Structure 1
Amino acid sequence: MMGWRWAGLSLVLGSAWLGCSDDPKPTPDGGTSLDAGSDDGGTGPADGGVDGGTSGRDGGTDAGSSTAVRVWSFTRYLTANGFVDRPDDVSHIQLLVEEGDQLVPIPGRDGGPGESVFPDVPRVTYYLRWGHHYVVTDSRDLDLSGHRLGRPDFVTMDPDHEPTADIALQGLETVWRPDPPPPFPTNPADPEAMLRVTSPQVGYSGVIDLGHSIENSSWNARDVSFYHEVIPAPHIEPEKGDRVWVVQLNPRLLGALPDGGTQNYLTAVRGLELPPLAYDGGQPFPIQGTFQRLTMNELPLDWQISRFAAHAAEVNPAATLSTSLFRMEPTAYGPAESWVGYAGTVVEFQRPRGEPADARGTLVYGNPYPASWGLVAMASTSFRISYQIPGASLPAVTSVTSFVRGRPSDIGSGPIVPRIRPPLELTLDGTELYTSRTITSGGHVLAWRPPAAGTPNAYVVSLRRLMTDPNIANPYFVPAGFFYTRGSTTSVRLPSGLLQPGNTYFLTVRAVLAPGYDVSNKPFVIDDMVDYSAAHAMSGLLTVPPETP
């Protein structure tokens, strides 16, 4: 489930929360039906572990045979009336068992809508493959369902259109912006005011930057540029119950930075639910009405970033501290223990890159959303390594995160410190994996040791492939494989053919601490968990030479 939660965050986390992240559940058309997150975090209310089955399945049958494995998957759309299930195409799923150093497929058959049955599987740990995703388990019943916020019958806009809005708003809080504006890029510790536009009924989110001062509480303008946070964006159809919230987020002072500067944060200060309206991207978005002042709440913050930064060498000996982000979001329609999709933020801030100083103070925030939705907060610190790629003008950057996520009452009850540390001693076929090197295209065994602190209940291994484009200055990475395995496991087999000749990759291993998450039952709800902490280790660059004629 990956729709995305804020483009700026995804750039820093690599996908971490939003989640992002680029760790979606596969769909036959290459899209995503999960909304969450990524190798560097992610999110969303799955029922987190949750209801023991989907669409009437009890999660406990064995399809009539003690050697059978039953697999099913439904996309579960969360609306105000609960979940609506739609079966996924699972015809491309493979079940693979280890024979020597190979993974060998076992035949399966159709088991009905959204279901496959593999009738003769030995009682061993196997690899269930769906696209780029591998679940390493011995479970006889496996629910691959994912969750998405909004109704299932949505229609998307043309992804190439340039959205604009017609603004006629009253009741805004004063916004001051220097004239002339600061140069780009702006200081991340000094965020600018914005309007966030959301429609949880259909999973829509967009942002309008307040690029000028507002002194008299009103703003009237036509054809104002803004951007969708999820592309392609869905149509908003009032006859289907879609409604739109607009939230003003303004900067507030959190405290001083070590260099004498100030750390500000964005917080929700005004809210407005628009009258029913239709929007399909073919006309300006009509945003009109009078904001209401929000009741403000307080959250004490003692984020000990220095404790996260101290583990950089466990991420990779060459890794350096990148940036740290804090966010608090509503959990739309959410069950208490989990979270689906993205419905905006009520607080967000970012530290300057490389800043290890702790962040302390009191966050004051409003919440325009129904109290029944609840809130979730996350503190995330990222690490990076830069590599100069021949022929590229800018370096390639690999990045991972360590984060803590939970309800605000939990996050604010004491110091925010790592709850789990990165996996240790990454190796590939017994050779250390932190430095860059050349490898073969055949099968390999990736191994690690458990973290020095924290007991994971799962690991997620991610493989990413380097891409270059003459039209893009900096090289970038795309997902090439994901492996989900139990916390008692400390190795996975990378099958032959996964690493392709003439390509460069890097690997990450995420240690997961998420009470209630069961990788052997519902692996793809990992990023829906509210109580969720993780830490990553990452390899150097791994280059597979081109095949010789």
Structure 2
Amino acid sequence: MSLFPRVRGLFSTAPWFLALVLSLGAVGCHDEDSKCDEPPDTCNPPPPPDAGIIVDPNVSMLLTKNDAFYARKGLEFQPRDFTAAPAELVPQDGGTPVPGVVMAPGVVRFDVPPGTYLVKSNSAQYFVVSWRSVDISTRLYGRPGRGSVFFPNPVSASLNLLGLAPDPDPNWNNYSELSFHSLDIEDSGSFSLPQELAEGQTSLMTTEARYNSDYGNVPRFDPAQGDSAWVVQTQQRDAGPEPEGGAPRAYTSLVRAAQLNPFAFNGGVFSVEATLQPAPEQTVRFDWRRDEFNALRIASTTGAPSVTGFVDVYPTLRTAQEGWFDYSVNPMLDYAPLRNSPQVPVVKELSFGNPYPMGWEPMAQFSSTYSFNVTKHDGSRTVRANESFLSTEAVSELGSTPVRPRVSLPRSFQVDGVSATTSRILETATPLVTWDAPALGSATGYVLQITRYNADINLLTNVARIYMGPDERSVRLPPGLLTSGNDYVLRLMAQHMPGVRTERGWLTLVVPSATASTSSAMLTLP
């Protein structure tokens, strides 16, 4: 999805959603009587790497990172090598960073008094914490690191596919697309065909296709490791009339699918041979109150040149207790209202195919984005920033519950005491960023993203993200993030993820959940 355009990334604008790490914390079932509902068995995970390590919380703080990979052969844990990739504590007052003492694989100790610190996980990821034990582990589906062998993107593909869905309506342009994803090796992408599928075409044999991975490279698939994949067909369908009238809009729906089990690729031609089967059809009915989201805008209320939105439906992969979510599945449904259309409620009843196991409950993501231009203080350049709202809901709840804002934007967004929406020259490379809590809903955490203007592509690119708890109202940017001669735009997100620990909520997706993000003006460091 997008910041989520795909689920893979919470903060990236590249095609993935949403990008990004999953949930933190313990892995496995909590109750002896409960059972994990997806293989492999995770009810008896090994003890965490900090088990048995005892420190005096008045003297020291422990940081743990032991990433869990939910693979076909079972849970595989990958503790971070803090010796090769050290973490640091950065005092909030900008003092000298504090190095850590490695206690065990995946565990590091910092000898510091109680207080609030910035944990520098890497050059692009910081956490503001006051806890004396912090776990920044992630939990992902598939083998670690997407494997170890990769091939340049795109790759030549040979397709021998039967069972394709023909056009259901000759009077409607039912454009078809073939996409691919794997749960064993985190990957997703689409096939480029030498020509579009013809009307009534139900099979395809070609050696002139190409596979384009969303990740920028294509991993090796090894049947000996149990690697499998899915190939799915989507078609455009008539979404019916829009609230503002005019021609009906199309939406994209999954119609056919085949599981490739096992699947092999080790360079050369990406060969896919399968018979696609009709995907069991489901219906989603939603009442999306776009007018209520629109009423919460702040910085984008004057002259927003672009208003966009989308609804995507995905399957969720999870155990009964832990709520697994996988980020490499292509959407089963994709609907987008007309750009710059009136912000009025949208009520739709749309269908999609769901070929996945019954336990994979569909979720829907609703995104509203209000773009606006920010100009450098001297008028020499302009770039697009935005405010956005993202709501993630269970499809099963949408029939009876309208999609309304759960959290509004952070208020009184300032940089060194000046409104963040004022373009200007910064006086320091370590400015103090402050804000007030949202007026609507409760924020369970905040994320400040620092982006830098890249003149070569005329876009904002990520520098770092700082994750903070619900009680934080300020953060001083640590030394080294802002460099002289560059222009920056800051993006502040409020998260509403009820029912999870703060540190888990930073890096996970829960259902239901919501985010609300606003942007600063262009800030220049001379």
Tell me the TM-score normalized by structure 1.
0.82
Q: Does 1:150 align with 2:124?
A: no
CA shift, 1:316, in A, is: 6.6
CA shift, 1:127, in A, is: 1.4
- The answer to whether the Cα contact below 8 Å between 1:325 and 1:348 also exists between their aligned partners in 2 is yes
Q: Does 1:129 align with 2:116?
A: no
Q: Does 1:114 align with 2:106?
A: yes
Residues 4-83 of structure 1: matches in 2 within 5 Å?
9-10=1-2, 13=3, 17-22=6-11, 37=18, 44=22, 56-57=47-48, 63-66=54-57, 67-80=59-72, 82-83=74-75
Letter in 1 for 2:115: V
Secondary structure (helix, strand or coil) at the match of 2:274 reads strand
CA shift, 1:507, in A, is: 0.7
Ranked by relative contact order (alpha carbons within 8 Å, sequence separation 6 or more), the top structure is 1
Q: Which runs of 5+ in 2 are unaligned?
A: 31-43
Distance 1:361 1:341 in 2: 26
CA shift, 1:113, in A, is: 0.6
1:396 aligned to 356, 369, 383, which one? 383
1:457 aligned to 444, 455, 459, which one? 444
2:236 aligned to 251, 259, 267, which one? 251
Deviations 1:157-188 (A, max 9, x none): 65534323222222211138999x9xxxxxxx
Secondary structure (helix, strand or coil) at the match of 1:409 reads helix
Distance 1:388 1:538 in 2: 13
Flag the 1:154–1:514 CA change in 2: closer, same or farther, 3 A: closer
Range moving further from structure 2, 453-462 or 121-130: 121-130
Residues 307-322 of structure 1: matches in 2 within 5 Å?
307-313=292-298, 317=302, 319=304, 321-322=306-307
- The answer to whether the Cα contact below 8 Å between 1:252 and 1:266 also exists between their aligned partners in 2 is yes
Distance 2:375 2:168 in 1: 41
Range moving further from structure 2, 439-448 or 331-340: 331-340
Secondary structure (helix, strand or coil) at the match of 2:402 reads coil
CA shift, 1:495, in A, is: 2.3
CA RMSD of aligned residues (A): 3.3
Deviations 1:200-246 (A, max 9, x none): 11112121257232414222222113311222222111121111211
Flag the 1:209–1:256 CA change in 2: closer, same or farther, 3 A: farther
Distance 1:43 1:417 in 2: 26
Give the aligned partner of residue 535 of structure 1.
Answer: 516
Q: Does 1:419 align with 2:409?
A: no
Letter in 2 for 1:175: D
Distance 1:227 1:265 in 2: 22
Distance 1:358 1:60 in 2: 51
**Number of aligned residue pairs:** 502
Secondary structure (helix, strand or coil) at the match of 2:323 reads coil
- The answer to whether the Cα contact below 8 Å between 2:257 and 2:355 also exists between their aligned partners in 1 is yes
Distance 2:115 2:522 in 1: 33
Residues 339-418 of structure 1: matches in 2 within 5 Å?
339-355=325-341, 356-387=343-374, 396-418=383-405
- The answer to whether the Cα contact below 8 Å between 1:36 and 1:44 also exists between their aligned partners in 2 is no
Give the aligned partner of residue 197 of structure 1.
Answer: 180
Flag the 1:339–1:45 CA change in 2: closer, same or farther, 3 A: farther
1:498 aligned to 475, 478, 481, which one? 481
Distance 1:177 1:228 in 2: 31
Distance 2:75 2:141 in 1: 9
CA shift, 1:366, in A, is: 1.4
Letter in 2 for 1:527: T
Secondary structure (helix, strand or coil) at the match of 2:144 reads coil
Letter in 2 for 1:160: P
Residues 247-286 of structure 1: matches in 2 within 5 Å?
247-257=232-242, 258-274=244-260, 276-283=262-269, 285-286=270-271
Deviations 1:399-450 (A, max 9, x none): 3421110321134432111111101111111111112111123322111111
- The answer to whether the Cα contact below 8 Å between 1:465 and 1:479 also exists between their aligned partners in 2 is yes
Q: Which runs of 5+ in 1 are unaligned?
A: 1-8, 25-34, 182-189
Flag the 1:456–1:333 CA change in 2: closer, same or farther, 3 A: closer
Distance 1:429 1:317 in 2: 24
Secondary structure (helix, strand or coil) at the match of 1:123 reads coil
CA shift, 1:510, in A, is: 0.6
Secondary structure (helix, strand or coil) at the match of 1:418 reads coil
Deviations 1:1-33 (A, max 9, x none): xxxxxxxx43xx4x5653313469xxxxxxxxx
2:158 aligned to 150, 161, 166, which one? 166
Flag the 1:156–1:353 CA change in 2: closer, same or farther, 3 A: farther
Q: Does 1:97 align with 2:91?
A: yes
Range moving further from structure 2, 361-370 or 317-326: 317-326
- The answer to whether the Cα contact below 8 Å between 2:448 and 2:490 also exists between their aligned partners in 1 is yes
- The answer to whether the Cα contact below 8 Å between 2:60 and 2:109 also exists between their aligned partners in 1 is yes
Secondary structure (helix, strand or coil) at the match of 2:472 reads coil
- The answer to whether the Cα contact below 8 Å between 2:424 and 2:522 also exists between their aligned partners in 1 is yes
Distance 1:465 1:44 in 2: 26
Residues 169-180 of structure 1: matches in 2 within 5 Å?
169-175=161-167
Distance 1:251 1:176 in 2: 10
Distance 1:341 1:279 in 2: 21
- The answer to whether the Cα contact below 8 Å between 1:175 and 1:212 also exists between their aligned partners in 2 is no
- The answer to whether the Cα contact below 8 Å between 1:177 and 1:212 also exists between their aligned partners in 2 is no
Distance 2:424 2:205 in 1: 58
Letter in 1 for 2:96: V
CA shift, 1:513, in A, is: 0.4
Q: Give the % identical residues.
A: 24
Flag the 1:397–1:446 CA change in 2: closer, same or farther, 3 A: same
Distance 2:215 2:137 in 1: 21
Tell me the TM-score normalized by structure 2.
0.86
CA shift, 1:456, in A, is: 0.6
Give the aligned partner of residue 6 of structure 1.
Answer: none
Distance 1:427 1:458 in 2: 18
